[in-house]
Amino acid sequence: SQQGEEDPQALSIQEGENATMNCSYKTSINNLQWYRQNSGRGLVHLILIRSNEREKHSGRLRVTLDTSKKSSSLLITASRAADTASYFCATDQGTDKLIFGTGTRLQVFP
Amino acid sequence: DGGITQSPKYLFRKEGQNVTLSCEQNLNHDAMYWYRQDPGQGLRLIYYSQIVNDFQKGDIAEGYSVSREKKESFPLTVTSAQKNPTAFYLCASSTAGTLSMSQHFGDGTRLSIL
């Protein structure tokens, strides 16, 4: 399968804790993107990291990319109940399309 | 506000029936995409279009058809040949020429079989 894989499949934490989710992929990439999906809604783009970048920040989000291990991680700091959602990574492998992973379901309890 | 509108939100199909899902965008994006999402799975690409009057098959195009007569619109028809159409369908768009940039999504159409 071309799809990337997120790990863990599901994650439950308390508000205020940090949440880390990982994405692995199989081929070389131009960039990797992270998206959030609230239940029953479309995806929302969070952050894009290019293959020559190792780390990127956006507000409470921190993304790292290790091209030698073909993996990326998304860290959400000081999580809130509103962060409850599914999170997907997507890779640009130099074709005309993004390849989406299977997602991590995050539950943040108040 | 610019965005992507998908309609209807819920759709039911009878056996042997074709149904069409609407996707309209006012973002002035050249590229548009249709994805299928099944429970617990990621998105799978059905069709995509980089420019008006042109489109390409994605990974799971069998049983689906599209048209791109206007820049703003990219309707998806689920034909009777698609034997397992129950799924959540998502439409997206992006700026063509920068296909590696982010995609903007609509809020989806949930299709079920009667």
pLDDT at position B15:
83
Calculate the average pLDDT of chain A: 93
Whether residue A100 has pLDDT greater than 80: yes
* Cβ <8 Å between A45 and B45: no
Model pLDDT for residues B71-108, shown as the tens digit of each residue = 999 999 999 888 899 999 999 999 865 555 789 999 99
Q: Is A21 on the interface with B (CB under 8 A)?
A: no
Q: Which amino acid is at B51?
A: I
Per-residue pLDDT, averaged over B7-20, amounts to: 92
Interface test with A, best of B43, B49, B55, B59 (most A CBs within 10 A): B43
Q: Would you call A101 an interface residue with chain B, using a CB distance cutoff of 8 Å?
A: yes
Greater confidence (A96 vs B78) lies with B78
Closest CA in chain A for residue B38: A102
The answer to whether B4 and B27 are in contact (CB under 8 A) is yes
Q: Measure A92 CA to nearest chain B CA, in Å.
A: 6
- CA B5 vs CA B13, B26, B92: distances in Å: 21, 9, 10
pLDDT score at A3: 62
Is the confidence at residue A20, as pLDDT, over 60? yes
Q: How far is B17 from chain A (nearest CA, A)?
A: 25
CA distance B51 to A77: 40
Q: Are A52 and A65 in contact (CB under 8 A)?
A: no
Query: Is A93 part of the contact surface with chain B (CB cutoff 8 Å)?
Result: no
pLDDT for B18: 94
Tell me the CA distances in angstroms from B22 to A2, A73, B5, B46, B106, one per residue in order.
Answer: 28, 35, 8, 15, 10
pLDDT of residue A96 exceeding 90, the answer is: no
Chain B contact for A26, CB < 8 A? Answer: no
C-alpha A5/C-alpha B94 separation (Å) is 24
User: Is the bond into A110 cis (omega within 30 degrees of 0)?
Assistant: no
Residue A23, classed as helix, strand or coil, is strand
Other Cβ atoms less than 10 A from the Cβ of A95: the count is: 12
Residue A81 backbone phi and psi in degrees, to 5: -55, -30
What per-residue confidence (pLDDT) applies to A1? 44
Q: Is pLDDT at B48 greater than 80 in this prediction?
A: yes
Distance from CA of residue B113 to its chain's centroid? 18
A59 vs B: CB within 8 A: no
B-chain CB neighbours of A103 within 8 Å are 41-42
Averaged pLDDT of chain B:
91
Question: Cβ contact (<8 Å) for B42 and A103?
Answer: yes
Q: How many CA atoms lie within 13 A of A86 on its CB side?
A: 21
For residue A83, report the phi and psi dihedrals to the nearest 5 degrees.
-80, -10
Q: A39-64, pLDDT tens digit by residue?
A: 999 999 999 999 999 999 999 999 99
Tokens of A25: 């992929």
State the pLDDT at residue B102.
Answer: 85
d(CA B5, CA B74): 11
Inter-CA distances, A88 with A34, A41, A63, A101, B80, Å? 6, 13, 13, 6, 31
Interface residues on B facing A, Cβ-Cβ cutoff 8 A: 4, 6, 33, 35, 40-45, 48, 50, 56, 58-59, 90, 92, 99-108, 110
What six digits make up the tokens of A71? Answer: 């993996």
